[in-house]
Structure 1
Amino acid sequence: MSSFPIYGNIIKVKWVNSDSVSIVPSFYQSQSGVLEKLKTGFEVIKGFNDNHFAFINGNDKNKEVPFTPDITNIQSLLKDTLKNMIGSDWWIYDKTGDLIIHSQPTDSLFKPMMHRSDNFFAEQTLLMASNEHLGFMNDEKIIDTILKLDLKDILQKPKWVDGSGLSRYNLFTPKSFVYILNKMKNEFGLERMKNILPTGGEGTLSSYYKKDAGFIYAKTGTLSNNCALSGYLITHKGKLLIFSVLSNNYITGATPVRKAVEQFLQQLREKY
């Protein structure tokens, strides 16, 4: 994880022949070397904190290898990637030739993040929020700030430790999620939330709620033996219900649990 991830902070290596490999991004091709004949494939040798890659004979034909991003190689990678894109609406070069990055509309990040359940986007978004509000990137500090300010009225204070939601130390109740969803609806408007969250047949709901497309907008959450669904449900009578269903400690896969939740919410929609 880094403050400015690029290429996912990994290189993709492909075996070409006994004398060479190809590397994407190509910037790192010049920082690599083949130490011996790669008869059957390759093995990578790399120091933990450097970005020099050496290859010896091994069994890999394709491999992803992490690199350590720093300001120098980030700038080089950006210039190498974007050099033919002058005139786009989100970046320019200044008079000194340095690259300046400009912001995209917020929802152009939030929508794919919610539809794909992109934990990487979520973690980086929290770091960016920290930088914007505190002047530095720190998960713990920005979480503490949000809980003391924006979420100070939450009825059941959560235990919140990261931006991705992947830690089992995160502890939120359904009432907490309903509070947050209601707060977002009131502050940002329901139509905006509908645009960001997937409905039936879309994103992480692609296999569920197809008959209810346009009447449910929700976000899934999944860890082993735990799954969740929280969002907005519009009933047959036109009422708006804000719901959160958390299921845990089941020994099956998530699919039968999600189908049971789907049936439950469909009954709610028909009844109310």
Structure 2
Amino acid sequence: MSARFSDFLKYYGLLISAAVLLTACQGTKSLTSKERRSLDQLVDENPVFKKSFTGFALYDPAEKEWLYQKDAHLYYTPASNTKILTLYTALEVLGDSFPLLHYERRQDSLVFWGSGNPALLDPTLPMSTDAVAFLQAHDGPLFFTHAAFNDRRFGSGWAWDDFPYYYQPEKVGLPVYGNFVEFIRDKQTERVKVWPKYFERFVEEDPELYPRSDNAVIVRDEHQNRFRLNAAALTGKPYRRYVPFHYTPQLVLGVLQDTLSRNVYYLPKFSKNTANVLSSPRPDTLYRKLMQQSDNFIAEQLLLMCSDKLFGEMNTRRMISYAQDSLLAAAPDRYEWVDGSGLSRYNLFTPRSVVYVLEQLYQKMPEKWLFEVFPAGGKEGTIQNWYGPADGGAPFVFAKTGSLRHRHCLSGYVRTRSGKTLIFSFMHNNFTGSSNAVKEQMDLILRWINAEL
């Protein structure tokens, strides 16, 4: 092959690539010129969006057509839009059966360890007592090990000083009680209630902790379970707080012994032979909590469960690598994906690749199921107060939010009055002030899509 002909092929290939990209960014012929001009005014020429960085993609899954794109090939911090990838991965890997525990019988003893399942003793989830009943039914000695957990307590790129906040519990192999301690005062005259009661022994009053504050303050030491309460937490206004506890094998033993009313022993090292699995049917309640409440803990534990099922160890990085190379390999752009929840600012996605995974979900799951799991505009979840029908009718937006400071995303499905279901992804980064301004503009655009397309 001559050098000139080789150069021609390279040049021709570049032209083809540029043409494909241009077509993707400009949309398709399925929009009329009037419709495209309207979207240009609403999106591309939007004065609010021009103050920051905005990407937008709108796709018709029935026709397999991009209807409109604005900077949809560029990367943005997705925040909790990351949970869309986690949902898809969990559905693909875990299927219709959820592992609760792994166990082996050694003579009269039962050795057990976690699968990453977050349900154990969490009353907000189904299956919360199934594993407890199984352990109580065993007459011989019980031994707990967490040798299958091969990860760190926090994800890559998480804020190290957010450890005491409800949205950042530690990742673990065998969660208990959602890895939270709940502090409640329903009335000003009542004492503080601590749930689970097991943690009452770790609570103390600290008169020097914000003594002049009228607000309840609860402080936990980072590497131990010592919860200090200021005076206002004991005598002030009613409140409800969720504080993550620090996970240790000894703590798990204490909780299990308190719950089972019997001794449980710890095995720091354990060589697995033929492990058995205690399973339950797929709990859609868990997926609804993941998406509608944007539960970070469930998101992280789901990836650990997937890793446990595929590789026999719980490791988020390994699971994400597998999902990238197999489940999501055909996405338009490779995801810079590091955790299950979106807490990390290291995550970077493009709007068109978020649309890709939303389309995969739409193809593989019934629409009714998706619309029950995703938050519904004006009705439930994180968009309960946004994107609702003006006439009080049925919701037309079903979408996942994603928020970090100066970043807000919204991706999901929008129904139109003409009977179509379209897929969209908004990603806004680097705005200042409240996210309400961009939400108001997205509300206008989604209403226009619902009415005009």
Same structural fold, with TM-score higher than 0.5 when normalized by the shorter chain = yes
Structure number with larger C-alpha Rg: 2
| Alignment-mate amino acid for residue 268 of structure 1 | I
* Structure 2 contact 388–396 (Cα < 8 Å) conserved: no
Structure 1 residue 220 displacement after superposition:
0.8
- The residue correspondences of 1:55-204 to structure 2 (distance < 5 A) are 61=233, 67-78=245-256, 80-81=258-259, 102-103=279-280, 105-201=282-378, 202-204=380-382
Q: What is the identity, as a one-letter code, of the residue corresponding to 2:365? A: F
Equivalent position of 1:27 in the other structure: 198
Residue 141 of structure 1: how far off its partner (Å)? 0.5
Secondary structure at the aligned position of 1:167 is classed as coil
**Please, which moves more after superposition, 214-223 or 67-76?**
67-76
- 1:6 aligns with 176
After superposition, what is the alpha-carbon deviation per residue over 1:68-111, rounded to whole angstroms, capped at 9, x for unaligned? 4344542542463477xxxxxxxxxxxxxxxx964353322111
User: Is the 1:41–1:60 Cα contact (8 Å) retained in structure 2?
Assistant: no
CA gap of 1:76–1:104, structure 2 versus 1, over 3 A, is: farther
- For the Cα contact (< 8 Å) 2:387–2:446, is it kept in 1? no
State how many pairs are aligned.
246
Q: What is residue 251 of structure 1 aligned with on the other side?
A: 432
Q: Which residue of 1 aligns with 2:399?
A: 218
Q: What residue identity is the alignment partner of 1:254? A: S
CA-to-aligned-CA distance 1:144-172 (integer Å, 9 cap, x gap): 00001101111111100111111111001
**2:445 matched to which residue of 1?**
264
How far apart in 2 are the matches of 1:258 and 1:60? 36
Could you state the TM-score of these two structures normalised by the residue count of structure 1? 0.75
* Contact in 2 for aligned 1:233/1:240 (Cα 8 Å): yes
**Larger relative contact order (Cα-Cα within 8 Å, sequence gap ≥ 6):** 2
Distance between the aligned counterparts of 1:239 and 1:117, measured in 2?
27
User: Which amino acid in the other structure matches residue 438 of structure 2?
Assistant: V
Distance in 2 of aligned mates of 1:251 and 1:267: 26
Over 3 Å counting, the alpha-carbon distance change for 1:192 and 1:33 in structure 2 is closer
Q: Distance in 2 between matches of 1:64 and 1:214?
A: 31
Give the distance between the partners of 1:75 and 1:102, measured in 2 at CA: 22
Q: Is the 8 A contact 1:41 1:61 kept in 2?
A: no
**Residues 3 and 215 of structure 1: CA distance in aligned 2, closer, same or farther (over 3 Å):** same
Residue aligning to 2:159 = none
Counterpart check, 1:207 vs 2:207: no
Deviates more, 1:2-11 or 1:262-271: 2-11
Cα distance change, pair 29–268 in 1 and its aligned pair in 2 (3 A): closer
One-letter amino acid matched to 2:418: K
Which residue identity lines up with residue 198 of structure 2 in the other structure? F
8 Å contact 1:42–1:61 — kept in the other structure? no
The gaps in structure 1 that reach 5 residues or longer are 15-20, 84-99
Match of residue 413 from structure 2: 232
Q: Distance in 2 between matches of 1:216 and 1:22?
A: 39
| 1:127–1:139 contact (8 Å) kept in structure 2 | yes
TM-score normalised over the length of structure 2: 0.47
Structure 2 Cα separation of the partners of residues 121 and 42 of structure 1: 32
**Is 1:154–1:176's contact at 8 Å kept on the other side of the alignment?**
yes
Tell me if the contact between 1:222 and 1:228 (Cα under 8 Å) persists in the aligned partners. yes
Give the fraction of aligned pairs with identical amino acids, expressed as a percent: 34
> Matched residue of 1:198: which SS?
coil
Q: What is the identity, as a one-letter code, of the residue corresponding to 1:26?
A: K
The CA deviation at 1:29 is 5.0
Retained in 2: the 8 A contact 1:42–1:60? Answer: no
- Aligned CA distance change for structure 1 residues 147 and 266 (closer, same or farther; 3 Å): same
Shift of 1:205: 1.0
Amino acid at match of 1:25: P
Matched-pair contact (CA < 8 Å) for 1:230–1:245: yes
Q: Describe the shift of the 1:60–1:81 C-alpha distance in structure 2 as closer, same or farther (beyond 3 A).
A: farther
